Amino acid sequence: MDGTALNEAVGGIVWLTGLSGAGKTTIAQAVYATLRAQGRRVELLDGDVIRTNLSKGLGFSKEDRDTNVRRVGFVCHLLARNGVVAIAAVISPYQTVRQEVRALGSPFVEVYVQAPLAVCEQRDVKGLYRRARAGLIQGFTGIDDPYEPPLAPDVVCCTDRETVAESVGKVLAAMAACGLG
Ligand code: ADP
């Protein structure tokens, strides 16, 4: 991509929401790698990483979760308006704040990364469900804290029924459909 093309690059936000273990990070990393290989400007904001720096010190109350999502959304918006595809992989359990991020005005693709709680719990990628069930973590999304599914997501990835490649293909298609392809 030459300088002119970079200047003309269309930025936007690809927002992956879903339960812990649903597959957000996996899909986000694969989409990131695909876009990188195409020479696109792309950045990945992963919830687990964000909570160790940008949102360090925040907890998991509704207020802190909302603050975390607003911060991620704000950074994504800044990147997007500079021609970057900002991919956010954050649980972002509350509909209203996800809507706020969309309303910032960047091209926005909402991806609902969906898997039944039982499947996420069985995967237990980080061992968090086991700890939540044992009472070692309070306020864990899906166990004793709410998750509000998106009302009108641009794409739904059913990760208990499709391969990672299929999920990635759906995200890329949804991006193309909203002019981010
Ligand atoms: P999250 O970021 O939502 O907490 P992760 O991406 O860390 O979830 O973990 C999801 C797990 O589900 C991984 O072990 C991944 O290999 C597995 N998985 C199976 N099928 C899919 C799919 N179609 N998309 C994403 N992940 C999948």
For ligand 1, atom 26, the nearest C-alpha belongs to: 23
41-50: average pLDDT: 97
pTM, rounded to two decimals: 0.95
From residue 141, alpha-carbon distances to 19, 62, 77 in Å are 7, 11, 26
- 20 assigned to active site: no
Strand pairing class (108-114; 155-158): parallel
Segment 109-128, tens digit of pLDDT: 999 999 999 999 999 999 99
Average pLDDT for the chain: 95
53-57, 111-115, 159-163, 177-181: least confident range = 177-181
Q: What CATH class is the domain 3-177?
A: alpha beta
Q: Compute the distance from residue 25 Cα to the ligand 1 centre, in Å.
A: 7
Domain boundaries of the chain, sorted by first residue: 3-177
Q: What was the pLDDT predicted at 9?
A: 80
pLDDT > 70 fraction of the chain, expressed in percent and rounded: 96
**Per-residue pLDDT reduced to its tens digit, 63-79:** 999 999 999 999 999 99
Query: What is the structure's pLDDT at 145?
Result: 97
Q: Which residues line ligand 1 (CB under 6 A)?
A: 18, 20-27, 89, 113, 123, 125, 159, 162-164, 167
Mean pLDDT for the stretch of residues 127-154: 97
